[in-house]
Amino acid sequence: MKELIDQFDLVGGLVHAWWNAGWRLLTSADILSREWHPGVLTSPARELTEAVHGPRLLLRGCGVECQLKAIYVSNGGVLAADGRYISPGGRSHDLVNLAKAARLQLNPDEQFLLRQLSFWVERGRYPIATSWARELIDTPQGPVIGQMWDSERDEAAFNAFRNRLQQIGQEMAEKAERERPGERS
């Protein structure tokens, strides 16, 4: 039993395990995005677009969450100990809080994007949130219903943030390579 607990703790502390889990989820979201055609008003494309919208944003949110956890772990955060998952704090799937815990500075557009993705982590799975208050996303103009996703603006914000995460991931990989014991060139 101790070996299983140790293995759990080990994997929970591996940056690349979290990063790769996020990459797999984001790649899956990319596949669904190929069937997402905003603005199409005719069936069957409209029905397919509506069918994949929530799940693709759910996968994006979960993928970003895993990659933020990789950054959190690379900065010394602990997500597993004694065979149990350890939350970095805050509400479950609160990506803004997780980014702060990972010491990632966010601009207002990134904060709004992460609030939207946090919403979709829940709403991509269920027809309602856990409470009416979780149906809202805070914005500088006040709370809005979280189902909004502007195809051009939000897609651009997501792609920019994903590129930022990719850059951070590259930097983490380079750092890990420099710190790896063994032969050096």
Q: Is residue 165 part of a domain?
A: yes
pTM for this model (two decimals): 0.89
pLDDT per position as a tens digit, 94-118 = 999 999 999 999 999 999 899 999 9
Confidence of residue 163 (pLDDT cuts 50, 70, 90): very high
Q: Is residue 28 part of a domain?
A: yes
Residue 85's DSSP bridge partners are 80
Is residue 185 a part of any domain in this protein? no
89 occurs within a structural domain: yes
Residue 32 falls inside a structural domain: yes
- The model's confidence at residue 181, banded by pLDDT at 50, 70 and 90, is confident
pLDDT band of residue 158 (cuts 50, 70, 90) is very high
Q: How many domains does the chain have?
A: 1
Is residue 115 within 8 Å of 138, Cβ to Cβ? yes
The CA distance from 98 to 85, in Å, is 15
Contact 115, 57 (CB under 8 A): no
Cis, bond preceding 108 (omega within 30 deg of 0): no
Q: Average model confidence (pLDDT) for the chain?
A: 88
- Please give the DSSP secondary-structure letter assigned to residue 127: S
Whether 74 maps to a domain, the answer reads yes
Q: Cα separation of 61 and 154, whole Å?
A: 13
Assigned domain for 184 exists = no
Q: Which two tokens stand for residue 147?
A: 């189902």
Question: Are the beta carbons of 124 and 58 closer than 8 angstroms?
Answer: yes
As a whole number, mean pLDDT of residues 152-181 equals 91
pLDDT digits (tens, 9 = 90+) for 21-75: 999 999 999 998 887 776 665 666 667 777 888 899 999 999 999 999 999 999 9
- Residue 158: which domain range? 2-179
Q: What pLDDT band is residue 146 in, cutting at 50, 70 and 90?
A: low
Q: Are 21 and 174 in contact (CB under 8 A)?
A: no
Helix ranges restricted to H, 44-150:
45-74, 95-101, 108-123
